Amino acid sequence: MGKKYILFLGLIVLHFIFTSCKVNQQEEKKELLIYCGITMIRPMTEIKQIIEKQENCHIEISKGGSGNLLNAIEQNGVGDLYLPGSESYIYTAFKKGIITDTAKVGHNKLAVIVQKGNPLNIKAEIQSLTSKDYYVVIGNPSSGSVGKATKKLLVSEGVFEEVEQNAIRFTTDSKDLSMAIINDEADIVINWYATYTWDRNSDYMDILDIPCLENTKKRLILAQLESSQHPDIAQKIMTYAISPEGQAIFKKHGLN
């Protein structure tokens, strides 16, 4: 009876030792936070999964409009990396002293997008966005990079106020612009070209070939935040993003 009791106690001790080790391993797992604009979610998700395996860490991605994300970074004071849809947000973040390092990972460019097959025969010209014959949706310049870039383009073409008045609504980000086309809520939108490559989006939309859009290419800058608690892993993410393997991932998602 005594030997069985001792064996029983031994098993309990081993159980607690094993459980304690397991809990400690879970507690030691490093956690990182990346703030990422909607358009870059797919490549960054692929990269984060690779780094998680390599570093045995957990990486959370907070997605949204680039402007809204920058506000969140300032308010929360936490996080490791920031990838907005336009480098103008990086300039702002740099001036505020909240980033410590940067790396160019790709490019964004604008596209004028219509319903698949262009059933309304919308002309391939920027002035089409001013026509009251079409349901027009554009991004909000205050909430995201696509809206900010759209306003800059339309101002340079001298039609921003007309398009602003003609638009039936403004969206917060590129995903909402895509859904406006997919759900047949818009005839024409201005969105990032990369969204055309998402999943089966090309089954629902076509791109109008408008020359002035060639000048809308924006550099995508991945920035390390001053608040990073794991700068070593943050650096590894940046290094992988600019490596040939990382660049192939961005290219696959239309961001080269």
pTM (predicted TM-score)? 0.82
Query: What is the pLDDT, as a whole number, of residue 226?
Result: 97
- Spans of the chain below 70 pLDDT: 1-27
Residue 202 burial (CB count, 10 A): 13
Query: What is the pLDDT, as a whole number, of residue 190?
Result: 97
Query: What is the pLDDT, as a whole number, of residue 15?
Result: 52
